[in-house]
Amino acid sequence: MNYEHKHFAAPTLTPDKLCTDQYNLVWCLGNTSLQKLKIYVELNNTVPCVRLLNATHQIGCQSSISGDTGVIHVLESEADLEWPLSKGPNPPYMVLLESSLFTKSIMMKMKNASSRVAGVVVVPKTSPREFSPHTTCPNENTGRRISNLAHCNQTVWNPRGNGLSYEEFDFPVFSLKEDNETEVIKQCYFDHNRVVNGSGPQYPLCAMQLFSHMFAVTDTATCMRRSNIDFSSSPVMVCDPLGGYNVWAFIRPYNSTAFGHKENESVVIAAARLDSRAFFLQDSTGAEGSVSGFVTLLAAAQALRQATQEAPPTRNILFAFFHGEVFDYIGSSRMVYNMKNNKFVIDLDNVHSILEIGQVKTLRSGSNLFLHSDPVSRRNNTVDDEVTNLVNNLHSSTAGLNFSFVESGFSQPLPPSSFQRFLRARAIPGIVLADHQTAFNNRYYESFYDNAAHLNLTYPSNLSPEEQLEFVTDTAKSLTEVATAVARALFKQAGGNDSQVNNINADPKTVTQMLYGFLVRSNNSWFQAVMAPELKDVLREHSATTDANALTYLVQYLLANLTGTATNLTQSQCKKPDELPNESTYVYSYLWVQGMVPPNSTQRESFCVRTAVRRVMAVSPAFDLGDYVSKEYSTWTESQRKFIKARIFLVASRDLEMMTLGVGVAVLFTSLLVTYFVSTKADVLFSAVREPANAAY
């Protein structure tokens, strides 16, 4: 790969603006006078690979405690690996590679020669044909416990998975997020490090230093034990349990303080997962892997609002959005654990059936979505009858729509899904809805390429950001149809009146706004309007799914606005509704939201939303139980670290460094000798000359 060699004119800089312009950074590095003033150029838009641990081992990456430093080498092809791994005369090397070369093969070669590799920097560019750093059998140890169906014995769900995210690297690996910084590094490499005709470059060389030292080592049990050792008034946490928040809501809310079984209550659960992951955790967007599913469920919840109020079905419906599912079903495990131990508002005996929305990428007209069920629980006639009823409800709900539902096959096991955690506790009728019959269609499962582009979110180039927010994409139209079918099926499954079914339709505008907000730009007018004033800072100029905390807040407030009721309560009343006669925080949540800015105004029309939505902590039960080697629940933790930093600078040759050291030592000893000589002869050198007493003038 050839890069255009750019030349920079020497800029006029003042001390307060020294080297702050990205396009002047390389010139700054090469300018001798400026090197005295600024040795390092900081790289501020980086994402590190971090260390994760579970009951048995650790995965991920880290640097040494003082950071790792290496001479930069830009990898242009796999053949170029020979230079940093064997031929290069100036190891260790900091290897910069574009995403097309970020493969399991190349990374393992560098891992096996780690004494010559100080670190790796990945530049995300064009997407490869396929790439999944996850395993071939996601969550294989914490799903359904059936020996002949477990561990993907019959179906390999993610055949593209190479397991790269589950490898351990003893050097730092960073992702660069800023094109300007990438160009700076490449230019520095071309100016100082580029190999010409097989001969090594001359000093000074361009080097990079990466800091990502992790506190935790070995496994979760070790790091949790060290975290619990309190040697001071402010102990240092070594690692934190992975998790987040589940978001859930009933169409008919229960008293949130009355836990356990509800007599004569039957509940249909509609579920989707919120989280995704990638090799770089903060790079995960999960467009097809998670966003397509939970956006569909949010749209279905909105579509059901009017019908369930006008003609309430006989059964209740629980909308559940689980977080932490990619790490051994943390969110769903927490809900099931709470149901089993009377820590939730219903128990497992109240659960009538489950419909889970999995990966549902854009559909072509006339295409199919597949209905997956559990072949083991269906051996029970009662369960099988109810699953058949749910399948029939789904089939009939597609009338007038441009796709169909197809059963995947009675003997095929369930794909990775939250439903599996419920089945571990009890045989419950249920269906997992997905766009794949056997192996995943998702070519980028749990990778940073599973983004808006992969979900075909494209907008005309002449539209402003706010116009893009309103533009109904083909993807939005497709998911709107799926949401409509899901809402109708849920209404039927809950015992709703058939006369209402054709009035249930999802809103394509809402779907397109959610897709834009979650995958393109969360800081938009609609997301601003539905959020609380104190949470406006969670909105960004990019995807919302890379921040787990922001994601769960957004889902909470969106679900509240889509299914709740706008009230006339003032802001102070909204914060203390229990002081009012007809309001109760035991049954409802009350959220003060910013509201829209009316035309010809600068003031938002804020209001209070009464909603049944709850946002609750989702941490694996293993940490409640103190069982850090659990085989039943997730034990994943994330290592703490002091700071993350990356910088580049010019490094002199070893000979020059040694010569400089030698000269410095020589000057030191010379000065000591001179000082000693002067101090011993001080009475001679500094004695006063006495004048004769009879001197006359």
pLDDT tens, residue by residue, 51-92: 999 999 999 999 999 999 999 999 999 999 999 999 999 999
Supply the pTM of this predicted model.
Answer: 0.89
Task: Work out the pLDDT band at 238, boundaries 50, 70, 90.
Answer: very high
The token pair at 603 is 């003031």
Mean pLDDT of 194-208: 85
Is residue 49 classed exposed, middle or buried when 0-12, 13-18 and 19+ CB atoms within 10 A define those classes?
A: buried
Phi, psi of 691 (to 5 degrees): -95, 145
Domain 35-214+644-654 part of CATH 3.50.30: yes
User: E-strand spans in 516-623?
Assistant: 565-567, 589-593, 607-611, 614-619
- β-pair partners for 294: none
Q: State how far the alpha carbon of 147 is from the alpha carbons of 142, 152, 166, 476, 565, in Å.
A: 12, 10, 24, 40, 48
Predicted pLDDT at 571? 95
Write the class of the CATH domain 244-516: alpha beta
* pLDDT tens digits along 81-90: 999 999 999 9
Average pLDDT, the chain: 89
Query: What is the 8-class DSSP label of residue 193?
Result: T
Q: With pLDDT > 70 as the criterion, what percentage of the chain qualifies?
A: 90
Tally the residues of the chain.
697
Domain assignments of the chain as residue spans, ordered by start = 35-214+644-654, 244-516
Predicted pLDDT at 346? 97
Q: With pLDDT > 90 as the criterion, what percentage of the chain qualifies?
A: 73
